[in-house]
Amino acid sequence: MFDWKWDFVWEIAPRLIGATGNTLVAAGAGYAIAVVLGLILALAQRTPYRVLTFVVRELVEFVRSTPLILQIFFIFYVGPQFGIRLSPWMSGMIAIGLHYACYLSEVYRGGIEAVPTGQWEAATALNMTTAQRYRRVIIPQAIPPALAGMGNYLVGIFKDTPMLSVIGVAELIHTANAIGSENYRFLEPYTMVGIIFLAISLPAAGLIRLFEGYVRRKLGL
């Protein structure tokens, strides 16, 4: 019943390793978008404009409570209806970037709200403009406590990249599907993909925990 073929494993290993590269690139690019866009979304909720705050708040809630896979489909298929053609990679990165930006904006928000009031007042007393105040005083203090949450979402984004396979991004699951249907063998490809995910996400989670401990010690927390 258990017919695991090592020959087949070695035969498909190079393709899966190549796909692992794509998966890592997708996770990295998506995360880069999310880190920047998330900060913008977090700051947009702190402006004096009530309407803007309300709209961004609702957008974040909406994106966070609907499935990423549906958002990927939405962005991929709705663009062409309005004459915008996006490649699978492009729409995948936008979807995953936007989805995680909403999660990260909450992490940033928590970090910013944790900065003591005295710091805001001191920055005002020094006659700093709002931009200076955020850039030089608030953000540098808001990020370190948020690092743990940010790290968890990096691992999270990595584990969500298989959803990109549905629009044809050649990441791990997409490649495993292709190998499986070419050879009528699914045992090895899917099992190997599972092992590759474990082999990357477990050490990554460990490293993030170490890094978090390091930052906390550095800050004297």
Partner 1 sequence: MSFFEFLGQYWPRLLGGAGVTVAQFLLAAALGIAISLCMGLMKLAPNRALRWGAITYIEIFRGTSLVVQLYWIFFVLPLLGLSIEKFTAGYLAVGMNIGAYGAELVRGGILSVPKGQWEAALAINMSPAQRMRRIILPQALVNMLPPWGNLMIELLKGTALVSLISVADLMFESRQINATTYLSAQVFGAALIIYYIMARFFVTPFMRWLERFMARKLGRA
Are 180 and 190 a contacting pair, CB within 8 Å? yes
Q: Which of residues 56-85 bind partner 1 (CB under 8 A)?
A: 61-62, 64-71, 73-74, 77-78, 80-82
- Least spacing, CB of residue 92 vs partner 1, in Å: 14
- Least spacing, CB of residue 163 vs partner 1, in Å: 6
**Does residue 1 belong to the site contacting partner 1 (CB under 8 A)?**
yes
User: Which of 133, 174 has the CB closer to partner 1?
Assistant: 174
Residue 158 CB contacts under 8 Å (≥ 6 apart), including other chains: 23, 24, 27, 197, 200, 201, 204
User: Which of 49, 77 has the CB closer to partner 1?
Assistant: 77
Render 87-121 in DSSP notation, one character per residue. -HHHHHHHHHHHHHHHHHHHHHHHHHHTS-HHHHH
Q: Which of residues 174-213 bind partner 1 (CB under 8 A)?
A: 176, 180, 186-187, 190-191, 193-194, 197-198, 201-202, 205
**Does residue 21 belong to the site contacting partner 1 (CB under 8 A)?**
no
Instruction: Give the residue from 183, 180, 201, 182 showing the smallest Cα distance to 191.
Output: 180
**Does residue 166 belong to the site contacting partner 1 (CB under 8 A)?**
yes
**Does residue 160 belong to the site contacting partner 1 (CB under 8 A)?**
yes
**Does residue 104 belong to the site contacting partner 1 (CB under 8 A)?**
no
Residue 221 burial class via C-beta count within 10 angstroms: exposed 0-12, middle 13-18, buried 19 and up: exposed
Are 57 and 120 a contacting pair, CB within 8 Å? no
**Does residue 115 belong to the site contacting partner 1 (CB under 8 A)?**
no
Q: How many residues of this chain interact with partner 1, rule: CB under 8 A?
A: 40
Separation between Cα atoms, residue 183 and residue 71, nearest integer Å: 32
User: Which of 81, 127 has the CB closer to partner 1?
Assistant: 81
Residue 41 burial class via C-beta count within 10 angstroms: exposed 0-12, middle 13-18, buried 19 and up: buried
- Least spacing, CB of residue 137 vs partner 1, in Å: 31
For the CA atoms of 112, 113, 114, 115, what is the dihedral angle to 10 degrees?
A: 60
Q: Which residues bind partner 1 (CB under 8 A)?
A: 1-2, 61-62, 64-71, 73-74, 77-78, 80-82, 159-163, 165-166, 173, 176, 180, 186-187, 190-191, 193-194, 197-198, 201-202, 205
